[in-house]
Amino acid sequence: MTDNEEPMIARGTMSELAFNKYKRWQWWFLVALSIGFLIIGQSAAVILGRFYYDQGGNSKWMATLVQTVAFPLLFIPLCTIRSPEEASTSVSPSIKFIVLIYFVLGVLIAADNMMYSTGLLYLSASTYSLICASQLAFNAVFSYFINAQKFTALIINSTVILTFSASLLAINEDSHEPSGLSKGKYLIGFLCTLGASAGYSLLLSLMQLTFEKVLKKETFSVVLEMQIYTSLVATSAAVIGLFASGEWRTMHGEMEGFGKGQVAYVMTLVWTAIAWQVCSVGVVGLIFLVSSLYSNVISTVSLAVTPIAAVIVFHDKMNGVKIISMLLALWGFASYIYQNYLDDAKARRAQAVPKPQNDSAC
């Protein structure tokens, strides 16, 4: 049997080492906890972000800033969760090279967050979330070229289905977006959200490549440190954008005119920032425990949460096109999950069968 097909926990990666460090029930508990953080954090952040716009908020740079500004909260798990020291297997990269990587990734994160903020400004929470499902299709492509993830029939099926799902929303004539929105702004929101989904998928693949090819340290601390330093760069870029655009001058008037009051304005921004960091902990945990691909797969579970929550909170109308789009997205998600199950089962069978001493190469 060859090693051409990569299991969900690939041999020789930090994910396999993480799996081996914990008992099986501990590993599954951490995976389940990370999944919970990711789904709850992402869903709450999207709902609060839409609430900010609905109540009179209009600053795209502020909406971008809150996605990373609470990164100091990540020092809590960094200081409380100790990682076993790993023996270095190669020469460590230079500090300048690591700083350059973190800077580039941070700038990309800031640009990606700006596109997400623009998309959420012009789209309802339910439509925004359904378009974000396309990130799974983008991740399949980037993982193939960057992380050597192999295409299978199920992954191809999922990619095609998710493409159809997003395409339905692109041609939806009865979108029921925020009142008074022109078709041109709807198209801008659609393209920005689609571009942000592609950018997010690219970022996850580049981060996993950096962990495995550059940093080569398989500890939770290293993964969390990358999240902290790139968020620092992204936050700095958002602050520069906020002041350079002149949007900072409208902050006081925006607070006074906020529909639910000034206290609600501040609390909305604070809890949005916290929700994004809760999501970040889940993303980091899944990248460390499993892979960037699996982290992206789980983030699409919010498709089943955010649109429903949007209907309850904002009374979004789920017309026939949106319902079909959501069902297609869930179908694509199920295909990915089943492929991961097959890979995991194959990996466990391979570990259970002892390899003969004189095994010849195929």
Residue with tokens 């009051």: 261
Residue, of 43 and 235, whose pLDDT is higher: 235
Domain positions in the chain are 32-79+94-347
What percentage of the chain exceeds 70 in pLDDT?
79
Residue 102: per-residue pLDDT: 94
Residue, of 339 and 110, whose pLDDT is higher: 110
Residue, of 237 and 172, whose pLDDT is higher: 237
Instruction: Out of 123-132, 198-207, 304-313, give the one with best mean pLDDT.
Output: 198-207
Phi, psi torsion values for 298, nearest 5 degrees: -65, -35
Residue 313: per-residue pLDDT: 76
Confidence of residue 68 (pLDDT cuts 50, 70, 90): very high
Q: Left (φ > 0), alpha (ψ -120 to 50) or beta: where does 92 sit?
A: beta
The stretch 131-148 carries a mean pLDDT of 81
Instruction: Determine the Cα–Cα distance for residues 227 and 74; give it in Å rounded to an integer.
Output: 8
Instruction: Out of 67-71, 219-223, 345-349, give the one with best mean pLDDT.
Output: 67-71
User: pLDDT per residue over 181-209, tens digit each?
Assistant: 778 888 899 999 999 999 988 988 888 78
Residue 9: per-residue pLDDT: 47
The stretch 169-175 carries a mean pLDDT of 59
Q: Is the pLDDT of residue 154 over 70?
A: yes
The average confidence (pLDDT) of the chain is 80
Q: Left (φ > 0), alpha (ψ -120 to 50) or beta: where does 90 sit?
A: beta
Instruction: Out of 66-80, 103-117, 174-188, 213-227, give the one with best mean pLDDT.
Output: 103-117
Residue 129: per-residue pLDDT: 79
Instruction: Out of 62-76, 161-175, 308-322, give the one with best mean pLDDT.
Output: 62-76
Residue 355: per-residue pLDDT: 55
Instruction: Determine the Cα–Cα distance for residues 189 and 179; give it in Å rounded to an integer.
Output: 14
User: pLDDT per residue over 238-273, tens digit each?
Assistant: 999 999 999 999 999 999 999 999 999 999 999 999
User: pLDDT per residue over 265-308, tens digit each?
Assistant: 999 999 999 999 999 888 878 877 777 667 777 777 665 667 77
Confidence of residue 145 (pLDDT cuts 50, 70, 90): confident
Residue 21: per-residue pLDDT: 63
Residue 148: per-residue pLDDT: 77
Confidence of residue 175 (pLDDT cuts 50, 70, 90): low
Residue 257: per-residue pLDDT: 92
